[in-house]
Structure formats: structure tokens, C-alpha cells
Amino acid sequence: MKQIKIFTALLTLFFTVNITSQVTGDELTKITGTWQAKLPCADCEYIDYRLVLNADNTYNDQMVYHDKDVMPFMTEGKWTYSDDIVTLNESSGKTQRLRYSNGSLTLLDASGNNVTNGTLTKLTREVTEIPVNDRWAAKRDKGIDFIGMGNEPFWNIDLDIEEKTITYSRLGEEGSVIFTDITEAIVMDAPIVTYHGKTAKHEMTIDIVKEECTDNMSGEVFPYKVTVKIRAGKSNKVDTLKGCGKYLADIKLNGKWLINKVHGKDISEYKIMKDKAPQISFSVSDERFGGIAGCNNFFGSFEAKGNKIRFGKTGATMMMCADMTLEKDMFAILNEGYYSFLIEGNVLTLIDMQGNAVVDFLKAN
């Protein structure tokens, strides 16, 4: 019994020393920073993996499953480095190892072998904003709020809600038709919005229905079905075109925002853990958000339509902290919340349906 107690004590001491030991000098420089990779996935296209190794031997990571409607998976904890091996010691007790070699980190399996296609590369500069990497970036820059498209014949529409315009193009027809002063009609108790526009030569009605839609050529899945009915000239003939579409979040939302005020209460009035700066980051290309509420990491999906934003269910890590008031306040706001938003300079404000400001964020430098 005495021998077992001594062994247990030594084992505890070994892990305590191992976890709290600090890496210094050149080794610290080469290991710390942000690492990323596209990892293989059995039931999705790929996993977008990002790992942040901090100089204080803490880490956090995130796995985003591409083309799969699941929440990102996030962990945090402590890391150690010895003999070219980085060990991630999750706060839940699990561990993951990576091997450092030639400026890269490679994930290791349980037997210590390299995981196929599991190599991470280090970002060469500090990333303060989530990069926009999607084919709709140019349309976002122009202020387009919704895009719709279809095949056979090929056609597309660009909707600008603020400017009340729709631009319609169709393969084989010269130029585009721009409808101004369009009207919007929302069908009560139904997931459908109708827009109507008219020019001297054309009349158009667009129905946007919240229903999954698959492009019959590319196989890409969109969240909305679109029906366009268009009449040209004095003809009574109406062409009906069917296709898919999606809303494009405002490009100005993208990136990291620091939580400044919650229901008018300044962030300095909350008790916050050290090195847990309350913040939220939006990725408009993935329609995902994530952040820190003073204790746990949180994450989820969102959809923005013009100046309106709807948050999905909010997930979070499960760490207990001494004071979780800010976290409870933020989760109550974000979880399936629906707001208007206003961006003025470096300030983002969420406004409820009664016109009250619920959260103020400051853009991170």
C-alpha cells in the first residue's frame, strides 16, 4: 500500500511539473502562434482546424466541419513541449500530441505515428480578423444582401435591401435589368418573402422560400428556394424561373469585436478571468460566430439579412468559473436571438425589436 502511495505521488508530481513547465527562448518562438490545417473527414468535405499556442502555455483550438450542419468543436487547456513533441492537455483530461519538424506540426495518432494529411502550417502574421474566402466577397463589397441563381436557362439576381434594387441577368440576353424602388411583402406565419419590381419594359416578382435547395448542376446546397416570374414588354407571357439562393452577411461584420457594454452596463463592471477578454468573432463567409464570454468559449451560426441578424443555438465549453454573470447575460442575448444591428465607425450595436441597445462591441485592432 505504501509503495502504491509513493508511486502515485511521484506520478502526480511528474505530470504537475510536466504541465506547468515553461518553454523559453527560440523554442518558444517557433512553437507559439496560430497553426492551421484542412484535415480529412469521413462524412464531410474536410475539417478546418485552427490551433493557437500561447506563450503562457495555454492553448485553444477549433474544428469547423465544412459542408456539414454541426457546431464547431472547440477545446482549451495547457500545452507542453519536449523532444519535438507538443502535447495538448485538454481541461477535460484528454490529450493530443503533435510532432514539430521543419517548421510544421503534424498530428499523431495513439501509437505516435503521423496522421495522414494531418500537417499544420503556421500563420506568418497575427490574424485579428477571420478571412473572407468565398466567391461572393465581391458582391458583399457592393452591398448585395441576397443572391439567387438558376440553370437552363442560366440566370441570376442580386438584391440590395437598403437601396431597394434588384439586378436581373439571363444568359443570352443583352445586359442586365435593374429594378428600383422594389416592394417587399412578408407572408404571415409562412417562411416566404416576396419582392416586386417594375420598369418601363419589365415586371418581376420574386418569391424567396426558406427551404433547402440543391443546385442541379453543381450540387451545392443553399438555404433558400427562389422563384422568379418576369414579363417583358407589352406581352402577357410570364416566364417562370426556379433556382436557389442565400443571404450575404454584411462584410463589415467580419472579424473580431470586443464586448464593451451589455444592457448599458460597462464591461469593467463585470468580474472577468485574467486573459479571458470578452469578445466575439464573425465569419461572414461561413455564417459562423465564436468568442469568449469571460469564462467559456462559445460558438454558433447566424444569418444576416440587410441590417437584421438572427443567431442560432449557442454552444459553449463547460468550464466552471467564480463569476459567470457576464456569460449568462451574453448567452441569454445570443442564443436564438433576433436583432437589428448598426455599425458606426468601430462600434457594432445589437438592437432588440423594442429599439433598445442590448450589446455594444468595439472593433479589435
In this prediction, residue 21 has a pLDDT band, given cuts at 50, 70 and 90, of very low
Looking at per-residue confidence, does 209 or 55 come out higher?
209
pLDDT at 309: 94
Query: Over pLDDT 90: what percentage of the chain?
Result: 41
Helix (H) or strand (E) run with residue 170 in it = strand 165-170
DSSP string of 66-103, one letter each residue: TTS-SPPEEEEEEEEEETTEEEEEETTS-EEEEEEETT
Per-residue pLDDT tens over the stretch 297-345: 888 889 998 889 999 888 888 778 888 899 999 999 999 999 999 999 9
pLDDT at 149: 95
What is the identity of the amino acid at 45? E
Output the CA angle 254-212-160, nearest 5 degrees: 45
pLDDT at 195: 95
In this prediction, residue 25 has a pLDDT band, given cuts at 50, 70 and 90, of low
C-alpha 259/C-alpha 18 separation (Å) is 35
Report cis status (omega within 30 of 0) of the bond before 153.
Answer: yes
322-339 per-residue burial string, b: 16 or more CB within 10 A, e: under 16: eebbbbebbbebbeebeb
Question: How confident is the prediction for the chain on average, in pLDDT?
Answer: 83
Domain locations along the chain? 2-122, 144-247, 251-363
Helix (H) or strand (E) run with residue 244 in it = strand 239-247
Q: What is the mean pLDDT of residues 196-213?
A: 93
pLDDT at 71: 57
In this prediction, residue 92 has a pLDDT band, given cuts at 50, 70 and 90, of low
Is pTM beyond 0.75 here?
Answer: no
Q: Would the pLDDT of 28 be above 70?
A: yes
Cell (9 digits) for 302:
447566424
Find out whether 75 and 52 touch, Cβ atoms under 8 Å: no
Name the CATH superfamily for 2-122.
NlpE, N-terminal domain (2.40.128.300)
Per-residue pLDDT tens over the stretch 46-87: 888 888 888 888 888 888 777 665 556 777 888 999 989 999
Nearest to residue 156, comparing CAs of 134, 186, 176?
176
Q: What is the mean pLDDT of residues 185-189?
A: 76
Query: Over pLDDT 70: what percentage of the chain?
Result: 87
C-alpha 119/C-alpha 49 separation (Å) is 10
**Burial class for 140, CB neighbours closer than 10 Å (0-12, 13-18, 19+):** buried
Tell me the fold of 251-363: Lipocalin (2.40.128)
Q: For 309, which DSSP code?
A: E
Q: Would the pLDDT of 140 be above 80?
A: yes
Q: How far is CA 281 from CA 47, 131, 255, 362, in A?
A: 19, 11, 5, 11
Question: What is the number of other CB atoms lying within 10 angstroms of the CB of residue 273?
Answer: 15
Q: Do 2-122 and 251-363 show the same overall fold?
A: yes
pLDDT at 238: 92
C-alpha 313/C-alpha 48 separation (Å) is 21
Q: What is the mean pLDDT of residues 147-173?
A: 92
Instruction: Calculate the CA 100 to chain-centre distance.
Output: 29
